Amino acid sequence: MLFSLKDKEAVATGAGSGIGRAVAHLLAQQGARVHVTDINEGQAQEVVKEIEKEGGKATAQVADVSNQQQVADLFAGLSRLDILVNSAGVSHIGTAESTQEADFDRLYNVNVKGVYNCLHAAIPVLKKNKGGVIVNMCSIAATVGIPDRFAYSMTKGAVYSMTLSVAKDYLKDQIRCNSISPARVHTPFVDGFLKKNYPGKEAEMFEKLSKTQPIGRMAKPEEIAGLILYLCSDEASFITGCDYPIDGGFIKLNN
């Protein structure tokens, strides 16, 4: 079977909702035991129940990725690790002027330090197991100027750089590290953002945001998960140190 992850052990962060949730489901469907990791225990448990109902294998792990000790404890409790998907993240709307220090720190702590914490704790386990795969959640915001995304873009630029560094440093350890860069994805964050900022005009604004993608719509979390599955599989064994846009033509066609 193509893209089989049979008998693999995988950790997916931020897996209680959105893209992370779709990733957890798909990796489990392909045979991996997935450690569904999220700061929200209830959501993590819910995803585990869904996966088990589908016949998959999963465990719920509660950890705040910005807390190094919690992350260290999580990976110390694993006897084996083959796959790490760093999908936990938060967003923010604002320019360099309007972004407050507290918001800047929050984004840095989750999106940058959170990825570092997971890499720092997971790589020794991957080395012990003679290799593995890391996929980081980057964004088109790392390489394209997007209005009102100052702090968010900063964090994704860091994720892109960390991906290249890890890929280079651990070639000899048979650890592959790549990232993906989605454009807009229809997740609960989008729905919450529209409800908060455009009450009564949610449908209108959703359509407007969708049309900013040349393909004419937002991505589905399951589509993002499909690319991650490929990069985690043995079929992608010749790929490392790469970032893959999955953006509906946003970078190249948005003229």
Q: What is the pLDDT of residue 132?
A: 98
pLDDT beneath 50, residues of the chain: none
Closest CA relative to residue 71, chosen from 91, 57, 59, 88:
88
State whether residue 231 is helix, strand or coil: helix
57-62 and 83-86 strand pairing: unpaired
Closest CA relative to residue 234, chosen from 118, 124, 82:
82
Under 8 Å between Cβ of 55 and 32: no
Domain ranges of the chain: 9-183+220-247, 186-218
Q: Tokens at residue 138, please?
A: 């980057």
Q: Among residues 108, 116, 152, 230, which one is catalytic?
A: 152
Distance of alpha carbon 10 from its chain centroid, rounded?
13
Q: What is the pLDDT of residue 136?
A: 98
Place of tokens 């807009």: 184
9-183+220-247 carries CATH number 1.10.357.10: no
152 annotated active-site: yes
Q: What is the pLDDT of residue 189?
A: 83
> Between the CA atoms of 41, 58, 73 and 104, what dihedral angle is there, to the nearest 10 degrees?
-50
Q: What is the pLDDT of residue 193?
A: 81
Q: What is the pLDDT of residue 255?
A: 62
Q: What is the pLDDT of residue 188?
A: 86
Place of tokens 């936990």: 88
Q: Tokens at residue 246, please?
A: 């999955």
Contacts of 251 (CB under 8 A, 6+ apart): 140, 143, 144, 245
Q: What is the pLDDT of residue 30?
A: 98
DSSP string, 88-152: ------B-TTT--HHHHHHHIIIIIHHHHHHHHHHHHHHHHTT-EEEEEE--GGGTS--TTBHHH
Q: What is the pLDDT of residue 145?
A: 93
